[in-house]
C-alpha cells in the first residue's frame, strides 16, 4: 500500500514502539524527532500513518506536548528551534501556507520550483540553520499549502511572499528561490523592496526561449498521474530528473505525494500547475530591470532551462548582478550540488 508507511516494526520486542507508524520510526532514525517525544504515542493508528517522513514530523510538531498548558500561537515559534526542523501552517491573511523551518538568526526563505515543495531544501537548511532562521515554503497550489482554483501569476506568488514575511514579522528576508521560486523571489524583491534584503535566484532568468517553455509545460502536465506505489513514483522521478542523486529523488517522492484510492497522486494541484506553467512565460525583463535589491544569479552549467545565451543576455541587461555558474549541475542546482549552492549563498550574504 503506497509507501508502506503503515508498516510497523514487527521485529521489535519493545512494546512501546510496536505499532508506531514506520514514518515516525524513520523520522527518529534520522533524528528529525526524539524517541522520547511523548507526542509519538498519540500518532498510533492516526492519519499520519499514511504520510511521508517529513510530513509525519510536521504533524508531530503540531500536537502539543503532554503537560503543555499554554496554547501556542501557530504563527510564533515559542521554542528555541535551533536544531531540528519543524513545520506548521501560517495564515498570511491572503492564503495559508505550509512551511518547514529550522534554526535562528536572520530570516532566509526558500521557494521551490514548479510541482515541487519545501522539502527539497532540507539539505540546504541543515547546513544554514546554525546561523539563519531558515523557512522553506510550500507555495500556493503546491505541497500542503492552500490551492485556490485561480491566481497563479507572478504577482500572486510575490504577494504571498510579502504576506508571509509580514506574518513572520522578521524581515527584511533573504530569498532563495529555485526556478518558479526564483522568478517569484525576484518579482517580490522588485514589488516589495522594504521586505526583502536580497535574492539568490537559482536557474531562472529573463530571455528563456519559447521552445524551452514548451518542453517545460509538457513535462509539468505529464506529472499529473496516478502512481501504483512508491516504486512507481521513484521510477517516474528518476526518469524525469535524470541527474538527481538518489537521496534527492527520495525526498521528492516522500514529500510530494498523497495516498489516494488506487495509489499515489502528486500533492501539487494539476490546474494550479497548468496555470503556473503558462505564467512562467511572462516577460521578466521589466522585473529584472526594476529590481534594486542585490540578486545573485545562479545557473547550472548544464541547465537546459537557462541557456548560456539567456544568462549572457541577462548579464548584459544587469551587468552589476553577480553570477555563479555551478559545474556538473543541470537545472536542479541546489539538489544536485547542495554544498556549492550553500557556499555560493554564504559568499553572497556574508560579503
- Scanning 29-37, 99-107, 160-168, 342-350 for contacts with a copy of itself by CB under 8 A, the matching segment is 342-350
The two counts, helices (H) then strands (E), for the chain are 13, 10
Shortest Å, Cβ 77 to a copy of itself: 25
DSSP H or E stretch at residue 98: strand 96-102
Closer of 111 and 227 to a copy of itself (Cβ)? 111
Closer of 166 and 313 to a copy of itself (Cβ)? 313
The verdict on 243 binding a copy of itself (CB under 8 A) reads no
Closer of 15 and 327 to a copy of itself (Cβ)? 327
Shortest Å, Cβ 298 to a copy of itself: 9
The reply to whether 142 belongs to the active site is no
Shortest Å, Cβ 136 to a copy of itself: 19
Q: Which residue has the cell 538527481?
A: 244
Closer of 11 and 320 to a copy of itself (Cβ)? 320
Rounded distance, CA 56 to CA 48, Å?
6
The verdict on 295 binding a copy of itself (CB under 8 A) reads yes
The verdict on 322 binding a copy of itself (CB under 8 A) reads yes
- Scanning 137-145, 251-259, 277-285, 339-347 for contacts with a copy of itself by CB under 8 A, the matching segment is 339-347
Contact present, 295 and 314 (Cβ < 8 Å): no
| 3-state SS assignment for residue 323 | strand
The verdict on 63 binding a copy of itself (CB under 8 A) reads no
The verdict on 131 binding a copy of itself (CB under 8 A) reads no
The reply to whether 182 belongs to the active site is no
| 3-state SS assignment for residue 103 | coil
| Residue of 27, 48, 324, 336 interacting with a copy of itself (CB under 8 A) | 324
Rounded distance, CA 188 to CA 156, Å?
10
Helix axes 154-168, 180-191, angle to 10 degrees: 70
Contact present, 244 and 178 (Cβ < 8 Å): no
Measured from the Cβ of residue 98, the count of other Cβ atoms closer than 10 Å reads 22
- Scanning 36-44, 246-254, 271-279, 338-346 for contacts with a copy of itself by CB under 8 A, the matching segment is 338-346
Shortest Å, Cβ 199 to a copy of itself: 8
Nearest Cα neighbor of 33 from 59, 4, 69 is: 59
The verdict on 321 binding a copy of itself (CB under 8 A) reads yes
Shortest Å, Cβ 307 to a copy of itself: 17
The reply to whether 129 belongs to the active site is no
Q: Active-site residue among 98, 112, 178, 331?
A: 331
Site for a copy of itself in 98-127 (CB under 8 A): none
The verdict on 130 binding a copy of itself (CB under 8 A) reads no
**Residues in contact with a copy of itself, shown as a per-residue x/- string from 161 to 200 under the rule CB under 8 A:** -------------x----------------------xx--
DSSP H or E stretch at residue 232: helix 230-240
Q: Active-site residue among 203, 255, 269, 303?
A: 203
Rounded distance, CA 287 to CA 299, Å?
18
Q: For 28, phi and psi rounded to 5 degrees? A: -65, -45
The verdict on 294 binding a copy of itself (CB under 8 A) reads yes
**C-alpha distances in angstroms, 180 versus 43, 150, 177, 319?**
35, 17, 7, 23
Rounded distance, CA 246 to CA 312, Å?
32
For a copy of itself, how many residues bind (rule: CB under 8 A)? 27
The verdict on 351 binding a copy of itself (CB under 8 A) reads yes
**C-alpha distances in angstroms, 105 versus 33, 81, 185, 349?**
22, 11, 20, 13
Ramachandran assignment for 258, one of left (phi > 0), alpha (psi -120 to 50 degrees), beta (any other) = beta
Q: Which residue numbers are catalytic?
A: 179, 203, 331
Q: Would you tell me which residues interact with a copy of itself (CB under 8 A)?
A: 174, 197-198, 293-296, 315-316, 319-327, 340, 343-344, 346-351
Amino acid at each position: 500500500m503506497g509507501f508502506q508507511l503503515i508498516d510497523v516494526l514487527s521485529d521489535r520486542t519493545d512494546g512501546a514502539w510496536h505499532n508506531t507508524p514506520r514514518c515516525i520510526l524513520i523520522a527518529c532514525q534520522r533524528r528529525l524527532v526524539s524517541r522520547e517525544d511523548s507526542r509519538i504515542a498519540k500518532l498510533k493508528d492516526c492519519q499520519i500513518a499514511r504520510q511521508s517522513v517529513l510530513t509525519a514530523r510536521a504533524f508531530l510538531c503540531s500536537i502539543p506536548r503532554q503537560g503543555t498548558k499554554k496554547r501556542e500561537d501557530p504563527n510564533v515559534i515559542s521554542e528555541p528551534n535551533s536544531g531540528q526542523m519543524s513545520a506548521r501552517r501560517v495564515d498570511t491573511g491572503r492564503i495559508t501556507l505550509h512551511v518547514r523551518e529550522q534554526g535562528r538568526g536572520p530570516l532566509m526563505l526558500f521557494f521551490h520550483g514548479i510541482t515541487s515543495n519545501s522539502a527539497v531544501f532540507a539539505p540546504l537548511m541543515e547546513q544554514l540553520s546554525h546561523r539563519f532562521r531558515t523557512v522553506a515554503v510550500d507555495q500556493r497550489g503546491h505541497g500542503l499549502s492552500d490551492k485556490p482554483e485561480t491566481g497563479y501569476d507572478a504577482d500572486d506568488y510575490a504577494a504571498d511572499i510579502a504576506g508571509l514575511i509580514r506574518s513572520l514579522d522578521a524581515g527584511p528576508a533573504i530569498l532563495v528561490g529555485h526556478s518558479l521560486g526564483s522568478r517569484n523571489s525576484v518579482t517580490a524583491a522588485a514589488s516589495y523592496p522594504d521586505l526583502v534584503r536580497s535574492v539568490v535566484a537559482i536557474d531562472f532568468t529573463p530571455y528563456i526561449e519559447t521552445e524551452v517553455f514548451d518542453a517545460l509545460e509538457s513535462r509539468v502536465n505529464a506529472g499529473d498521474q496516478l502512481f501504483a506505489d512508491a516504486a512507481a513514483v521513484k521510477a517516474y522521478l528518476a526518469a524525469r530528473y535524470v541527474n538527481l542523486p538518489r537521496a534527492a529523488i527520495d525526498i521528492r517522492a516522500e514529500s510530494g505525494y498523497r495516498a489516494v484510492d488506487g495509489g499515489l497522486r502528486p500533492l501539487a494541484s494539476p490546474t494550479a500547475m497548468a496555470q503556473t506553467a503558462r505564467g512562467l512565460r511572462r516577460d521578466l525583463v521589466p522585473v529584472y530591470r526594476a529590481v534594486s535589491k542585490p540578486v545573485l544569479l545562479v545557473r547550472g552549467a548544464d541547465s537546459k532551462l537557462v541557456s548560456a545565451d539567456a544568462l549572457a543576455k541577462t548579464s548584459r541587461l544587469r551587468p552589476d548582478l553577480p553570477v555563479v555558474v555551478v559545474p556538473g549541475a543541470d537545472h536542479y542546482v541546489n539538489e544536485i550540488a547542495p554544498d556549492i549552492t550553500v557556499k555560493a549563498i554564504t559568499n553572497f550574504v556574508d560579503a
